[in-house]
Amino acid sequence: MNQRVKTAAMVALLLFLGACVAGSSDSTHAAAGGVLSQFFLGLWQGFIGPLTLIVEIVNRVAPSLLPWKTHLYEAKAQGVAYDLGFYLGLTSGPVIVWMRR
């Protein structure tokens, strides 16, 4: 496969999955689901946590610079499943990136 096609597919996938950042309507809907959806939501939000933190800082410093607002942690997700997924994602994200290099 062409390198440009791979890059475009990865960017599209990340944008698609980026819709599930904490504070979005999709995230709130998933947080209202069962234990499994809360776990995977927490896992994903923990994995993208460092990027979400950067976006949140940029939004605080220059509020009109980015067109979206994010939160680091989903306030509507209540339970151990979300917390476990969030911390697993937060700790495993850098490990996966490091092992890939």
pTM of the model: 0.70
**Do 50 and 44 meet the contact criterion of CB atoms below 8 Å apart?**
no
Which of 40, 33, 25, 37 lies closest to 71 in space, CA to CA?
25
| pLDDT tens profile 15-38 | 666 666 766 666 666 667 788 888
Q: Does residue 96 have a pLDDT over 70?
A: no
**Do 77 and 38 meet the contact criterion of CB atoms below 8 Å apart?**
yes
* End-to-end alpha carbon distance in the chain: 21
| pLDDT tens profile 49-93 | 888 888 888 888 988 887 777 777 777 777 898 889 989 998 887
List the alpha helices (DSSP H) in the chain. 3-17, 25-31, 35-47, 49-61, 80-100
